[in-house]
């Protein structure tokens, strides 16, 4: 598995919930970044043999076939196989792993992987519509609300962050400071142009161009401190120190071997997943990373760059503390609290960020880690080539 190379990696901007990308379908967004990834890889689209994309919230019927449709619209031949991946928050990262495993097992030589999520377009279900309802009111189910609710305890995922905050004594002030740092780092990365190389701008029908993440903002400890608890009365988890909903897509081209004349961005060296008590959902990455370290013989200090998803500041702080993450190496360009958390795409986006970070440095290792709603964790290790 040490020879699965990332030939290219790109993403769309992350649009805010109901923002600039809310009118763009998942298929349009996924195809847009897939075309860019294939072009950046310098390979003909006919070389794509397999496609895997993460997606959680359905927005239209063709989303059921999204992975194969995106690949074919991006130029892949009709012989391409396609797999939709749903691991909730970990979907985009698991799609990367799925593509890696397919290549490692010899199922294909080149794969297109990534994640797409248009949260703003998430549908509602009308369960009684299939066979009708004779009399009375009927229920409409919000799939977005369902995606943000733990299926075991039937509580919002933010409640699991409150559980960790209490267990590990993470203060409201510490959570708000984490959120502030995320925004400051994200804005600094935007201003320095570090994100521009990984983002494919999106042209809207109205003539507007969305070229950067809509989430990062100029906030302050005072403003964050004014926000009320979002999930538990008197709690410490707020909308301001939680990952924001968003719309985005990301795509990477993976290969078993580096084509002649090409320079890969990085290679994928290991992956691990783990389950955890659903009520402590945010603890999942800790177990997944520890499993990955045990498999590889590496230590956490062997990683020069870490992209750890900020589903909630409380959860991110617990992960950082328990794994001993160096604050300067973790999320140097900000995290989901600032950029946004387009659930099914986030893992692929973090992989794109890590690949670009390694390519920019020309050396080192990167770790991508995420908690997963329902009580799981996933981690992937990358290495510069």
Catalytic annotation, residues: 89, 341, 371
Residues 328/331/332/337 CA torsion (nearest 10 deg): -120
| C-alpha to C-alpha distance for 306 and 242, rounded to whole angstroms | 19
The contacts of residue 322 (CB under 8 Å, 6+ apart) are 283, 286
Contact 158, 314 (CB under 8 A): no
Instruction: Give the residue ranges of DSSP H helices in the chain.
Output: 26-41, 66-73, 91-104, 143-147, 157-167, 172-192, 221-225, 284-296, 313-323, 336-339, 343-361
Neighbours of 336 (CB within 10 A): 31
| C-alpha to C-alpha distance for 246 and 338, rounded to whole angstroms | 11
Picking from 217, 207, 171, the residue whose alpha carbon sits closest to that of residue 317 is: 171
Neighbours of 257 (CB within 10 A): 13
| C-alpha to C-alpha distance for 344 and 232, rounded to whole angstroms | 26
| C-alpha to C-alpha distance for 252 and 52, rounded to whole angstroms | 10
Please give the C-alpha separations between residue 52 and each of 101, 117, 208, 248, 278, in angstroms, as whole numbers. 11, 14, 30, 16, 26
Burial tier of 243 (Cβ tally within 10 Å: 0-12, 13-18, 19+): buried
């Amino acid at each position: 598995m040490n020879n699965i190379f990332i030939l290219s990696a790109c993403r769309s901007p992350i649009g805010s919930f109901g923002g600039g990308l809310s009118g763009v379908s998942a298929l349009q967004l996924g195809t847009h970044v897939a075309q860019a990834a294939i072009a950046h890889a310098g390979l003909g689209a006919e070389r794509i043999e397999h496609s895997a994309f993460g997606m959680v919230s359905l927005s239209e019927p063709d989303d059921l076939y999204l992975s194969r449709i995106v690949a074919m619209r991006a130029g892949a031949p009709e012989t391409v196989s396609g797999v939709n991946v749903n691991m909730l928050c970990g979907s985009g990262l698991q799609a990367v792993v799925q593509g890696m495993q397919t290549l490692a097992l010899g199922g294909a030589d080149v794969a297109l992987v990534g994640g797409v999520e248009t949260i703003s377009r998430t549908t509602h279900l009308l369960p009684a519509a299939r066979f009708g309802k004779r009399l009375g009111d009927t229920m409409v189910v919000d799939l977005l609300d369902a995606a943000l609710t733990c299926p075991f305890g039937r509580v919002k995922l933010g409640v699991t962050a409150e559980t960790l905050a209490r267990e590990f004594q993470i203060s409201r002030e510490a959570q708000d400071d984490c959120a502030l740092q995320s925004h400051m780092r994200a804005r600094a990365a935007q201003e320095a142009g570090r994100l521009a190389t990984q983002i494919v701008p999106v042209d809207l029908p109205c003539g507007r161009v969305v070229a950067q993440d809509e989430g990062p903002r100029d906030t302050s400890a005072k403003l964050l401190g004014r926000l009320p608890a979002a999930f538990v009365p008197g709690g410490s988890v707020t909308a301001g120190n939680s990952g924001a909903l968003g719309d985005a897509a990301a795509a990477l081209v993976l290969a078993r071997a580096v084509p002649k004349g090409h320079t890969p961005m990085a290679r994928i060296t290991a992956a691990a997943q783990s389950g955890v008590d659903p009520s402590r959902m945010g603890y999942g990455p800790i177990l997944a990373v520890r499993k990955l370290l045990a498999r590889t013989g590496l230590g956490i200090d062997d990683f020069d760059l870490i992209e750890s998803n900020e589903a909630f500041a409380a959860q991110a702080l617990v992960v950082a503390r328990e794994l001993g993450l160096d604050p300067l190496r973790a999320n140097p360009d900000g995290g989901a609290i600032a950029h946004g958390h387009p659930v099914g795409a986030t893992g692929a986006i973090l992989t794109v960020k890590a690949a670009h970070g390694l390519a920019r440095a020309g050396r080192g290792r990167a770790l991508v880690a995420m908690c997963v709603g329902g009580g799981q964790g996933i981690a992937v290790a990358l290495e510069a080539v």
